Structure 1
Amino acid sequence: MHLFVQEKGAFIAKHQGRLRVMKAKDRLNEVPLLHLQQVLINGGGVSISSDAIRACAEEGIPIHFVSSNGTPHSSLYSAGLTGTVLTRRAQLRAYDGEAGLALARAFTLGKLQNQANLLRYVAKYRKEADPDLHAALTVVASEVVDSLQAVRDLQGVSVEALRDRLMGIEGRYAARYWGALAPLVPAELAWPGRETQGAADAFNQVLNYGYGVLYGQVEHAIILAGLDPYAGLLHADRPGKPSLVLDLIEEFRQAVVDRTLLGQVTRGWSIGRDEDGRLDADTRERIVTRVLERLESSEAYEGKRQPLRHILQCQARHIATFVRGEREAYQPFVMGW
């Protein structure tokens, strides 16, 4: 269960083992802490009491804050979750050695394979209805074989030595991936192709908001695993940049966000926007609901089907055990199709 609050003037308070959302004298929502997994606060004008924050910290419930366009800007956790010194020391040491290089390579391989598998997934449902589109999607998916081998063939002694080449391969295939998906986006959305920050069209805004929701889930998994979300490998270090979150999210974008939201628009979902061209409240709530529902659905993983949320947490823990030397190799999560 999650609590999503976005109405300006809303106030979140603790009340007898529950979180209650009020606006003036109106009760907007109330959920038991016992079953609550997270709180997502969207935009400005929402307040939360110190008692509610403390209750969430004691119950291990994260509170995520995102802007109106889905950009995550802060999260609240129990302070005790960041006290994993041995893991963080191992994580920092890994950057300059073979473990860091192996992780950067694995994140890239995972993203490439998942992009190919999503193309295969959408292609298989169009084999009879649209043979030309099926063939085009299949061709682009097959190109990943060359990309995967190119990543494996890269030689280097550190992440620094290979980062630009890894990102170059990833970038070239990303362009092919989004180009292949373009025919599936309804023409009325006038999709210009993939754009990130500052996107003015509806579908890119939807994708960006979905990634913002997923970002909070990845960050939480990383912190629960005892890792530092800012000490990444594939993505370069910059002040305030959560590089490890950006690394690990690459394995889950396609399975959690791309598949979910592309499916929504191809089934006729009408994206609502306000007079300023931003996603309206109902649309934002629908994105949050669908993305979090997808995290509860299952994928094949380690010999059985498991919820994506559990898989995400396991992958974060596998990073931790790998950098500590307790795991021989780190394998990226690869979605089925």
Structure 2
Amino acid sequence: MELIVDERGSFIGKHQGRLRVTKDNERQKEVPIMHLRQVIIAGGGIAISSDAIRACSEEGIPIHFISSNGTPQASLYSAGLTGTVLTRRAQLRAYDGPAGVALARAFTLGKLGNQANLLRYVAKNRKGTAPEIYELLMATAAEVVDYQIAVERLHGETVDDIRDALMGIEGRYAARYWQAIGSLIPPALNWPGRETRGASDPFNQVLNYGYGVLYGQVEHAIVLAGLDPYAGLLHADRPGKPSLVLDLIEEFRQAVVDRTLLGQITRGWQIGREEDGRLDQPTRERIATKVLERLETTEPYEGKRQPLRHILQCQARHIATYVRGERESYTPFIMGW
């Protein structure tokens, strides 16, 4: 169970083994701590008591803070979850050797494969009803092979030798992917193409908020695997930049966020916004709920169907065992279609 609090003026406190959310002294929500998986605090003007934080820490429940537009801001974890040493030493060593090169390539191949498979997935039901769109989606999906070959041909002694080339390949196919996705977005949403920070159109805002929710889930999986979320490979190191989170999230954006939210708008969901153009509170809550629900659904993985949340945690652990030399290779997660 997740507790999502995104209404300004709310207060989260602890009361007899539960987290209670109140506003203006009126009870809004109440969740048993023993059933709670995580707390997501979205936006400003929300307070939480030290007793509530302590209770979450004792039970290993993360508290994620994201802005009203979905930008990840902070996460609180129990100190016991971040006390690993051996895995982090191996992770840092991997950066300067072949393991780092292999991981960076795998993250890129994972994203390319998932983008192509999502296009195939959304094309399936349009073959008879919208043949032109079907052909566009399938043709764009087929193009991915050239990009995958380009990635596999890259070689270098360290990830620094191939990073720029990898990012260039990823960026070129992303442009093709979003162009194809644009054919599915209702004209009323005025889709300008993919925009990240500062997006003013509703669907980009919805995507950015959904990625912000997913970000917290990826970071938590990485921490539980004993890895340092700030020591990435594909994404370059910068102060305060959680590069490994940005690396691993590439394998899950399409399966968890793009598929979920694209399905919502193509089925007629009306995106609500405030007067200032930001997403309104019911819309933000719906996005978070749908993304978290999607994580509980299953995908083919290692010979059987497993929940996406479990797959995410396994992938993080596979990174850890690979850098420690306990796994021969790292295989990215590719969604089914």
**TM-score normalised by length of structure 1:** 0.99
Q: Does 1:230 align with 2:230?
A: yes
Distance, in Å, in 1 between the alignment partners of 2:312 and 2:108 is: 16
- Secondary structure of 1:74's aligned partner: strand
Note the C-alpha offset of 1:24: 2.7
Note the C-alpha offset of 1:16: 1.0
The one-letter code sitting in structure 1 at the alignment partner of 2:78 is S
Q: Which residue of 2 aligns with 1:95?
A: 95
Distance, in Å, in 2 between the alignment partners of 1:238 and 1:64 is: 21
CA shift digits 1:178-217 (9 cap, x unpaired): 0011010000001000000000000000000000000000
Q: Mean alpha-carbon deviation: is it higher for 2-11 or for 305-314?
A: 2-11
Distance, in Å, in 2 between the alignment partners of 1:247 and 1:78 is: 24
Q: Which residue of 1 aligns with 2:239?
A: 239
Distance, in Å, in 2 between the alignment partners of 1:276 and 1:109 is: 39
CA shift digits 1:142-195 (9 cap, x unpaired): 011111111001121110000000000000000000001101000000100000
Q: Which residue of 2 aligns with 1:311?
A: 311
Q: Which residue of 2 aligns with 1:162?
A: 162
Q: Which residue of 1 aligns with 2:275?
A: 275
Q: Which residue of 2 aligns with 1:263?
A: 263
Distance, in Å, in 2 between the alignment partners of 1:187 and 1:24 is: 41
- Secondary structure of 2:175's aligned partner: helix
- Secondary structure of 2:305's aligned partner: strand
Aligned length: 337
Q: Does 1:252 align with 2:252?
A: yes
CA shift digits 1:279-326 (9 cap, x unpaired): 000000000000000000000001110000000000000000000000
Gaps of 5+ in 2: none
CA shift digits 1:60-96 (9 cap, x unpaired): 1100001110101001000111111000000000000
Distance, in Å, in 2 between the alignment partners of 1:263 and 1:69 is: 20
Q: Which residue of 2 aligns with 1:206?
A: 206
Q: Does 1:194 align with 2:216?
A: no
Q: Which residue of 2 aligns with 1:298?
A: 298
Q: Which residue of 2 aligns with 1:13?
A: 13
- Secondary structure of 1:27's aligned partner: strand
Q: Which residue of 2 aligns with 1:185?
A: 185
- Secondary structure of 1:12's aligned partner: strand
Q: Mean alpha-carbon deviation: is it higher for 227-236 or for 131-140?
A: 131-140
Note the C-alpha offset of 1:46: 0.8
Q: Which residue of 2 aligns with 1:43?
A: 43
- Secondary structure of 1:96's aligned partner: coil
CA shift digits 1:216-268 (9 cap, x unpaired): 00000000000000000000000000000000000000000000000000000
Q: Which residue of 2 aligns with 1:217?
A: 217
**TM-score normalised by length of structure 2:** 0.99
Distance, in Å, in 1 between the alignment partners of 2:63 and 2:32 is: 15
The one-letter code sitting in structure 2 at the alignment partner of 1:30 is E
Gaps of 5+ in 1: none
CA RMSD in angstroms comes to 0.6
- Secondary structure of 2:74's aligned partner: strand
Q: Which residue of 2 aligns with 1:176?
A: 176
Q: Which residue of 2 aligns with 1:332?
A: 332
CA shift digits 1:20-69 (9 cap, x unpaired): 01123200100001111110001111111111101101111100001110
- Secondary structure of 1:125's aligned partner: helix
Distance, in Å, in 1 between the alignment partners of 2:36 and 2:331 is: 31
Please list, as runs of the form range in 1=range in 2, the aligned pairs for 1:113-192 lying within 5 A after superposition: 113-192=113-192
